[in-house]
Amino acid sequence: MKQFVFWILIGCFAAPSQAQITLESCRQKAQANYPLVRQYELIEKTKEFSVSNAAKGYLPQFSLSAKATYQSDATTINLKIGDFALNRVAPKDQYQAMVELNQQIWDGGNIHSQKELAKANSDVDREKLNVDLYALIERVNDLYFGILMLDEQLTQNTLLLDDLERTHKQISAYVANGVANSADLDEVKVEQLNALQKRTELKSSREAYVKMLSVFTGEEIAETALFAKPVESVAPLTDPAYFRRPELSWFEAQNGRLDVNEQMLQARNMPRLGLFVQGAYGNPGLNMLKDKFETYYIAGVKLSWNFGGLYTLKNDKKQIQVNRAQLDSNRDVFLFNTRLQATQQNSAINSVRALLDKDDEIIALRTNIRKAAEAKVSNGTLAVTDLLREINSENKARQVKALHEVQLLMNIYQLKYTTNN
CB 78 within 8 A of CB 135: no
pLDDT higher for 175 or 301?
A: 301
Residue 218 falls in which region: left (phi positive, over 0), alpha (psi -120 to 50) or beta: left
Q: Sign (positive/negative) of CA torsion 366, 368, 373, 374?
A: positive
Confidence of residue 99 (pLDDT cuts 50, 70, 90): very high
pLDDT of residue 5 exceeding 60, the answer is no
d(CA 272, CA 307): 12
pTM: 0.78
Distance in angstroms (rounded) separating the CA atoms of residues 160 and 398: 10
Question: How many whole angstroms separate alpha carbon 118 and alpha carbon 139?
Answer: 33
pLDDT at residue number 86: 66
Cite the DSSP H helix spans in 15-109.
Answer: 23-33, 39-55
* C-alpha separations of 134 from 71, 174, 265 in Å: 70, 60, 35
Q: What is the mean pLDDT of the chain?
A: 87
Q: Phi and psi of 304, rounded to 5°?
A: -130, 150
- Among 203-217, 226-240, 277-291, which range has the highest average pLDDT? 203-217
pLDDT at residue 236, rounded to an integer? 65
**Tens digit of pLDDT for each residue in 136-165?**
999 999 999 999 999 999 999 998 899 899
Q: 6-10, 337-341, 371-375: lowest mean pLDDT where?
A: 6-10
* Across 21-50, average pLDDT: 90
20-21/226-227 β-pairing: parallel
- In CATH, the number for domain 2-33+108-270+306-419 is 1.20.1600.10
Percent with pLDDT over 90 in the chain: 48
> What is the H or E stretch that residue 125 is in?
helix 110-177
User: 170 CB contacts (<8 Å, ≥6 apart)?
Assistant: 374, 377, 378
Q: Which spans in 269-309 are helix H?
A: none
Confidence band (pLDDT; 50, 70, 90) for 89? confident
Q: pLDDT tens for residues 245-291?
A: 999 999 999 999 999 999 998 888 899 999 999 999 998 888 877 87
Q: Is the pLDDT of residue 179 over 80?
A: no
